[in-house]
Amino acid sequence: MRYLLSLVFCCLLASCVSIKVNYDYDKGTDFSNYTTYNYFSDMETGLSQLDERRLIRALDSTLQFKGYRLAEEPEFFINILSSEYRSAPNSSVGIGMGGTGRNVGGGVSVGLPIGNSGIQRHIQFDFVDAERDALFWQASTESGYRDNASPSVREDRLRALVKKVFSKFPPETNR
């Protein structure tokens, strides 16, 4: 029984892919000046229409919880870009053999990949000041992606991604 629980725990741990987030922002920006937002009208996210709607719903609820309002004439615009790529397997095992004798050497080595390569999704959020048309905040994420996941799993995954990305928005500026 202990072996089975250990095996299940290892499988769960391996299936949980972390969400990596990188932030960048203009240090001269006073984030308290921004209260309204909207999305670029010509935004091409690279997501399916359903995933795009899921992401925007999660983003809207998160920003509104933080006190921002969706407006026709906003103080900043949001642009979302995404792409998918296949990542290489993380680890491999090397098997080798060789021999030497009297200044003659030789060897053979073979690397066997362990695990499958996975599909990763990169999503970038750009916040652009509407008046100055200048980028003032950006977040870039990478996370695992399964294109055969159920709609509820996709929505949960996008909600978790938005929660992590906007956990540090607005940034605490030290002047």
Measured CA distances, 34 to 121, 132, 162 (Å): 29, 13, 19
Tell me the average pLDDT across 19-43: 91
CATH topology of domain 19-86+118-168: Double Stranded RNA Binding Domain (3.30.160)
Per-residue pLDDT at 47 exceeds 80: yes
Task: Record the tokens describing residue 119, joined without a space.
Answer: 């599909």
Per-residue confidence band for 140, with pLDDT thresholds at 50, 70 and 90:
very high
Reply yes or no on whether the pLDDT at 92 is more than 60.
no
Say yes or no to pLDDT of 66 above 60.
yes
Q: Give 30's pLDDT tier (boundaries 50, 70, 90).
A: very high
- Least confident range from 34-48, 58-72, 138-152: namely 138-152
Q: Is the pLDDT of residue 132 over 90?
A: yes
Question: Per-residue b/e over 29-68, b at no fewer than 16 CB within 10 Å?
Answer: bebeebeebbbeeeeebbbeeebbebbbebbbebbeeeeb
Cβ-contact 78, 126 below 8 angstroms: yes
